[in-house]
Amino acid sequence: MPARAAIDPALGLAADLRPDAEPEIVELRGDAAGGGWVVVNKPSGLCSVPGLSPDAQDCVLYRIAEMFPEAAGPMIVHRLDMQTSGLLVLALDAETHRELSVQFERRTVGKAYEALVDGVPPERAGVVDLPMRSDHAHRLIQVVDRVQGREARTEYEVVGEEAVRGARCARLRLGPITGRTHQLRLHCAHPWEDGGLGCPILGDNLYGPTLGVPHRADRLLLHAGLLAFDDPLTGERVSFSVPPAF
């Protein structure tokens, strides 16, 4: 039985079991020198990088490093929340890491997420524009702050509606224009009257309770299903997609 992931008891977070499944390799490209990159489908419940607690050291970074012991450099280019599933690209050498990091910094990487949310936004599509910062009282969460917050913008589209445990829910396609920590989760949960969607992601035990929403899922129903970038080895545009398990 794997150890439980670290939690903050003060926030009342339910513990998540780390998954036994390895990150699924979606694509591997390398060169003769052993460099290159790998795209993986991260399971929900597995950290992208090691956490602060000794019980939260299991992560995508360490598992992929074990698979590719010849890899060099930082490897991790971007991250997904522990509870979020989906696509990650990791670099297998320092130069590839640098080139991929530049693409993320310049916002030329294509990303799309799918989520099931509690309720249906009044408008079927649009852009959420709510600056964010860390909560000074609880560093693990983010809050909207139009004065001191950093720019955070998310495109959304309602792509379907369905009933989940008796509740009317929307299936959303989310496109983060910026990439702030917990951006999609906060933008979905923040009240519609104040610029958010007012529809917390199902299973979000961090932002959902602020609206008194009951949990209707055993995990966060957020999946990074599309990732597109320029291949540092060839310059060609590559795109990958993996459907969610929910």
Question: CA torsion sign, 176 to 177 to 178 to 183?
Answer: negative
Dump the DSSP string for 71-96.
--S--B-----TT-EEEEEEESSHHH
Q: How far apart are CA 221 and CA 81, in angstroms?
A: 12
Query: Catalytic residue among 58, 81, 93, 118, which?
Result: 81
- Answer for the pair 64, 38: CB distance below 8 angstroms, yes or no: yes
218 is catalytic: no
DSSP 1: -
Q: Are 137 and 85 spatial neighbours (Cβ–Cβ below 8 Å)? A: no
- For residue 98, the surrounding DSSP H or E stretch is helix 94-105
Integer CA distances (angstroms), 10 to 14, 46, 178, 193, in order = 11, 22, 29, 29
Residues that are catalytic: 81
